[in-house]
Amino acid sequence: MENSPTTLGSKGLINKHEFLRVIIQCLYSLGYKKSASCLEIESGVRYKSIEFDLLESQILSGDWDDCIDTLNKIKDVKDDTRSSVLFLVFKQCFLEYLNRGDDSLALSVLQKRVPTLHMSNETVHKLAYNILALKEMELGKLDEDVISELRKRLVMELGKQLPPPIVLPERRLEHLVETSVTAQIDSCIYHNSQDAVLLYEDHCCGRDQIPTETVQVMDNDKLTMKHVLRSHQNPVSFVAWSPDDTKLLTCGNLEVLKLWDVETGTCKHTFGDHGFTISSCAWFPDSKRIVCGSSDPEKGICMWDCDGNEMKAWRGMRMPKVLDLAVTSDGENLISIFSDKEIRILNLRTNAEQVIFEEHSITSLSVSIDSKFFIVNLNSQEIHLRDVAGKWAKPLKYTGHKQNKYVIRSCFGGINSMFIASGSENTQVYIWNRKSSTPIEVLSGHSMTVNSVSWNPKRPLMLASASDDHTIRIWGPSQSNKIQPAETST
């Protein structure tokens, strides 16, 4: 039974002996020791390998020479792994010899055994210093219970370092199942739920997990006006809500930046003067600080508090004009778009800066809610996804939408920002799964260019789109696959 080549599964990929070992390990780890022991007896398969069983016995009994000999005889162990586990054994030997007063044996381990492992002098000196320090503090006189506990810890440490099949990695069956579930979620293009995935069936979400149907159309006739914010002298082209939803920033071409109280509709502060034109602005996650960029290179980028006090500024003759900017939701990074094609990522804590160049003009910028990624819309009819940390050599690219003449804004959405949505000049809304360059959904409903989209951060099944047709559409999950209640007769 031990060496049986019998396999399991329809494809014959599962070795029966290995399968039983991981099941037995799982039963032990879950606390079902009697069941695990019964399965070992009935199947003839042991959870622990013969080599590790012998090692454990030798360590717990303090049979160090045989333990070292066993470790040296184990096959298919890399040299650095063997040296590492032998070092742990020598360390325990050294401690125990000193503890019982065998200084000559302890010195022999240090002078003859340890050097064969080719450890650095610093490591050897540190070992000797630490253990001798314990002895000088009279902590070296350890009783049998303490020695026994140290040996058990050594067994556990060797179990973590020795490779399979000598030792099974901890909770191997749980890891295999979790890996399978994760792979199914990753391959599910519509996955958009935090609900637990059932093990009883293969996982696969349907279209009803993302917004694909119009549930509401809002126009001037259906919207109730709360406030009219009057103060700007020129058209407003940029609006930014504070993260706590209590304040609003507005700016536009040849305009100043204004801060509004959402509840009362009053202007709380005007930043700069009419010579200081703002092209874009963004909030910090605390809703107490803002940052704005100017199309005037001499004005650059400024950070203010809500009372109008300038906290920091980046400006100068060499500063390109700022087209768009965003602050990551962790407040760590400021991402700015300069002169059409240049992206700069500034770490506000370390002042480290990355500079990225695109081949085509950038029209908008959006950051994922986890602060790890950002997307830019290009007038080449592509959306590029990049990592904020700057580890990727190339961006992920998404195509299908139409963008030639107008500013089109895209956004992240869904659970873990796994989706990207964008407007389009052909009246449609496009949705991609981040792992696929082609759209998984194309939503029709608007009659003119869709300029902007916004995925609800609290409701992963809700998406809003704004269009030149003067309407805002709210999109929700498809109802076509839902069972309709039967009509009842009276």
Domain containing 338 equals 213-476
Q: What's 311's domain CATH number?
A: 2.130.10.10
Q: Evaluate whether residue 6 is within a structural domain.
A: no
Q: How confident is the model at residue 233 (pLDDT cuts 50, 70, 90)?
A: confident
Q: Evaluate whether residue 30 is within a structural domain.
A: no
What is the predicted pLDDT for the residue at 221? 67
Mean pLDDT of the chain: 87
Structure tokens at 162: 């020795």
What is the predicted pLDDT for the residue at 4? 54
Q: Evaluate whether residue 483 is within a structural domain.
A: no
148-165 residue pLDDT tens: 999 999 999 999 999 999
* Residue pair 294/321 in contact by the 8 Å Cβ criterion: yes
Whether residue 217 is found in the same domain as residue 142: no
Q: Evaluate whether residue 28 is within a structural domain.
A: no
Whether residue 142 is found in the same domain as residue 234: no
Among the candidates 184, 205, 226, a domain finishes at 205
Q: How many domains does the chain have?
A: 3
Q: Evaluate whether residue 32 is within a structural domain.
A: no
Does residue 457 surpass a pLDDT of 70? Answer: yes
Task: Give me the long-range contacts of 465-472 (CB less than 8 A, separation at least 24).
Answer: 465/423, 465/429, 466/423, 467/423, 467/427, 469/427, 470/219, 470/220, 471/217, 471/218, 471/219, 471/446, 472/217, 472/218, 472/219
316-360 residue pLDDT tens: 666 778 889 999 999 999 999 988 899 999 999 999 999 999 999
Whether residue 186 is found in the same domain as residue 269: no
What is the predicted pLDDT for the residue at 168? 93
Whether residue 289 is found in the same domain as residue 393: yes
Over range 277-286, report the average pLDDT. Answer: 88
Cα distance between residue 81 and residue 422, in whole Å: 51
Q: Which residue has the higher pLDDT, 412 or 406?
A: 412
Whether residue 245 is found in the same domain as residue 187: no
Structure tokens at 437: 């360059």
Whether residue 442 is found in the same domain as residue 405: yes
* Residue pair 256/271 in contact by the 8 Å Cβ criterion: yes
Q: Evaluate whether residue 5 is within a structural domain.
A: no
Whether residue 181 is found in the same domain as residue 248: no
Please count the residues of the chain: 490
Whether residue 282 is found in the same domain as residue 416: yes
